[in-house]
Structure 1
Amino acid sequence: MTDTRGTSFLSDVVAIVGRSHVLTDPDAMAGHLTDWTGRWTGAADAVIRPCTTDEVAAVVAACAAHDVAICVQGGNTGLVGGSVPPIEHAGRRPLVVLSTVRMTDIDEVDTRGRCVGVQAGATIEQIDSRAAEHGLRFPVDLASRDSATAGGVVATNAGGVRMIRHGNTRRQVLGIEAVRADGQVLRRWTSLVKDNVGYDIPGLLAGSEGTLAIVTRVLFRLVAPPVSTIVTVAAVRHVEDCFALIDAMTERGLAVEAAEIMTDAGVELVHEHGVRRPVAAHAPFYTLVEVSGTGDVEAVVIDVLDEADVVDAVLEPGPARDLWAARERHTETIARSSTTPVVKLDVSVPIRALPEALVELAAIADLVDHPCRPILFGHVGDGNIHVNLLDVPEPRAEELTGRVFGIVAANGGSISAEHGIGRAKVAWTHLGRSEVDLATMRAIKAALDPAGRLNPGVLFG
């Protein structure tokens, strides 16, 4: 990689991060070029692994000087191809992957302000463990907590299983440090509860998928965990029964910490792979609800279940990892069970439309003349459905994706609930955004990254 002046870009970045952290060997780079789903594979000239914000800034400045594009990568647990480079960049500018894998520092917890500063490569599990040392909790929780990173959840504005209680990642971001496309460091870092000077830059970068700046550090809000929780899994006949159960618990003064939905097909699949069935009875749907409160929470939950229209139910004191396993093992089990890369579509619909949308999505296999096994699960409390279509022949994946998005749009939903647009959903952004809206986003992108250097092909194509 040598520019028209004859200077070597790779030599410049080696001087910044060290020889061992500039990967050019194909075998060494391979893990950074394919995403978790296996459906998205790209190509890059190098993988660069800086350790500090200053190193990121220097690398980005070198990229600007040599006209090199950058694909930003955290834990690489996304589902839409946003964390890997495009498959082809021949004939275009050179491209590198900038990995935050070495950026794992976590500051001391501010127990009075209930916040903590972390580098972008710190995992959700590491952040939550540090918070727990001080009797606090990180509000964002994902099944991929061991590998999903701070920078990644900010870039995609992840929701996760605690969103019903605490909101999405954007709500947890108090401050941010990021490197702009020109190499300048932007720092908006304050634990103030009220700070209303100008634009909400941290909020803008949350959900921007690395297209506006490279997030290097985040100041996260922390919360006090409940003293104790009760987790219940109930087998129910209708989605509306899930809603009724959640409403009844809320009306009895309980705080809903998480509310999930699974289908019989999904529960059976994880059971076949070694996970204990939460209840013996079969039903079309299963809802997992975790609640907290004062007094005898277990007694209240038992009363609610006795009065509810459920086929069967079980409850355990939190964390109830065996009950949660039925939900959290869905993703890895689905990946192992499909004969082709799973068509994974993270969507949302208005809660009122969830029952009809689930029926329509479950019936999608009947509309096609090729193999397709739908497994649906998600966050029933916020209308988020994880659509998984197994065994779909790769040439038919895009067509089937369009069918799913058509159902979602017809129900007033969004084609992206948690994982962003990435490369996978660019062709369908018009289903959720008007031309004026898209033009406004492009104007912001052009203002902050006029050369289109950051994550080319992501969000806008």
Structure 2
Amino acid sequence: MSAGAIDPAVVDELTEIVGQAHVLSDPEITASYSIDWTRRFAGSTPLVVRPADTAETAAAMGVLAAARIAVVPQGGNTGLVGGSVPLAGEAVLSMRRLDVCEAVDELASQVTVGAGVTLADAQIHAAAAGLSVGVDLAARESATIGGMVATNAGGINVLRYGAMRAQVVGIEAVLADGMIVSHLAGLEKDNTGYDLGSLLAGSEGTLGVITRVRLRLHPLQPERATALLAFETAQDAVAAAAALRRSVGSLHALEAVFDSAMALVSAHLGVDPPVGSLSSGSRNASGAAWLIAEAAARTDPSDELGTAVDEIADLLIDAAVALDPPARQRLWAFRENVTEAISAAGIPHKLDVTLPAARLAEFVDGVADVVRMADSDAQPLLFGHLGDGNVHVNVLGPGGAEPAEEVDDAVLRYVAELGGSISAEHGIGTAKLGQLHLNRTEAELAAFSAIKRALDPEGLLNPHVLLP
């Protein structure tokens, strides 16, 4: 049930637990907790509670559960599918104060961090010990580890290290009744029952509130070589990506930007890409394609990457290679600023999908027609992680307005028809509740519901997210 008007006695109990400064009810203050990064999903909350640690989280959750107040757990609020905002008047349980990085266990190459630690801070902390966090993404300065685990975030290094679930070797969380579950030993071999960390990863805050995470770390790969590769077609780019994955053992990232998205980000940056040609005024998502291929190793990987690029010369229009950090960053700008450029242009519908490699080019070439059959004035903008088949389909209406709602269903059905996933790394949230059945059978959905009822029988945790 939604929070509605909060009993003053409940507010008093919460204040005793977390302190008056961390129980927020002023609408001007709580407003920032009630809208997501895309500006597409907005709600309201009567109450934001900001605990400092697991004990305070458990105590606060116990009070809210006793009052039967529904709760939205929230990290950095960088989600893109409406899964981290109180759309139905729920209370918000903010994890941002759980920001402690514990000492790196260098023998195990692991670290335990609070759920509110940002990815950037975790990266800096691990790097000081000569190690790295396996997942990286553009929102690193604001995305929190707890939220990233809850959504099983992916990012640019999935092809090398896997998504967030693969980094979790231990977890601590608070269940809906305030009970704490904690399994943080980080043993690589531990077959003592259900893997709660794996279950909570990707659960989108519907099963428990993650408070601490033990992460697997990886050796630093300080030497980098980056190439921006231009292609005439998506099919050539997909073929090149497959060849690079086979031949470059140090391949660290393989990102794609397609025609209309490259035109938009280039205009946003005020500079054209150094290779390839932009289609003037193109409203097609496909056509030309660009890949950013980055190799990373302990020793200079430029020869390995250069040899591989030479081997795909027949697919290429041209290539630009950068080795020093400023030059590499200039190439990366065309990928890392795409989301910002789209946001500046309007309020998009964001459809994060995965395609089988064999159907990837077909999807990129065909999705514009699918979009325009649902909304003739809409513009699809495509980019993503080509190394793992993940395409981000952003759709803008005229003048940056939202496109017709029918666009979402049309694109996701097209993805399912091609054997793909309707959610690669952003989650289901509230945005894709109506389409979850496209990828999951009735038996699977029944199993999901049974797990939810077992851990949250009152349906208090993120009640309008993930499960239809």
TM-score class normalised by the smaller sequence: over 0.9
* Change beyond 3 A, Cα 1:252–1:405: closer
Instruction: Give SS of 2:309's match.
Output: helix
Asked if structure 2 preserves the Cα contact closer than 8 Å seen for 1:231 and 1:318, the reply is no
Distance 1:318 1:185 in 2: 47
Distance 1:7 1:279 in 2: 61
1:211 aligns with 2:206: yes
* Residue 381 of structure 1, CA deviation: 1.1
Partner of 1:326: 334
1:351 aligns with 2:346: no
Larger deviation: 313-322 or 190-199?
313-322
Partner of 1:65: 66
* Residue 183 of structure 1, CA deviation: 0.5
* Change beyond 3 A, Cα 1:245–1:229: farther
Aligned-partner residue type, residue 125 of structure 1 = A
Partner of 1:266: 261
Matches within 5 A, 1:77-156: 77-86=78-87, 88-89=88-89, 95-156=90-151
1:289 aligns with 2:309: no
* Residue 325 of structure 1, CA deviation: 1.1
Matches within 5 A, 1:23-38: 23-38=24-39
Q: Structure 1: any 5+ residue segments left out of the alignment?
A: 90-94
* Change beyond 3 A, Cα 1:134–1:237: same
* Residue 369 of structure 1, CA deviation: 4.8
* Change beyond 3 A, Cα 1:240–1:292: farther
Q: Structure 2: any 5+ residue segments left out of the alignment?
A: 279-287
Aligned-partner residue type, residue 289 of structure 1 = A
Instruction: Give SS of 2:56's match.
Output: helix
- Count matched residues: 452
* Residue 273 of structure 1, CA deviation: 1.4
Asked if structure 2 preserves the Cα contact closer than 8 Å seen for 1:275 and 1:325, the reply is no
Partner of 1:43: 44
Larger deviation: 253-262 or 153-162?
253-262
Partner of 2:345: 337
Asked if structure 1 preserves the Cα contact closer than 8 Å seen for 2:230 and 2:275, the reply is no
Partner of 2:282: none
Distance 2:92 2:304 in 1: 52
Residue by residue over 1:291-312, the C-alpha shift from the partner in whole angstroms, topping out at 9 and shown as x without a partner, is: 1358763233333333322001
* Residue 66 of structure 1, CA deviation: 1.1
Asked if structure 2 preserves the Cα contact closer than 8 Å seen for 1:365 and 1:371, the reply is no
* Residue 227 of structure 1, CA deviation: 3.9
Partner of 2:231: 236
* Change beyond 3 A, Cα 1:119–1:377: same
Asked if structure 1 preserves the Cα contact closer than 8 Å seen for 2:348 and 2:403, the reply is no
Aligned-partner residue type, residue 219 of structure 2 = A
* Residue 252 of structure 1, CA deviation: 4.1
Distance 1:440 1:48 in 2: 31
1:360 aligns with 2:361: no
RMSD: 2.0
* Residue 253 of structure 1, CA deviation: 4.8
* Change beyond 3 A, Cα 1:377–1:8: same
Aligned-partner residue type, residue 127 of structure 1 = A
* Residue 318 of structure 1, CA deviation: 6.1
* Change beyond 3 A, Cα 1:186–1:251: closer
1:373 aligns with 2:379: yes
Distance 1:441 1:250 in 2: 35
* Residue 241 of structure 1, CA deviation: 2.6
Instruction: Give SS of 2:60's match.
Output: helix
Distance 1:401 1:11 in 2: 43
Distance 1:368 1:181 in 2: 40
Asked if structure 2 preserves the Cα contact closer than 8 Å seen for 1:351 and 1:381, the reply is no
Q: Report % sequence identity.
A: 42
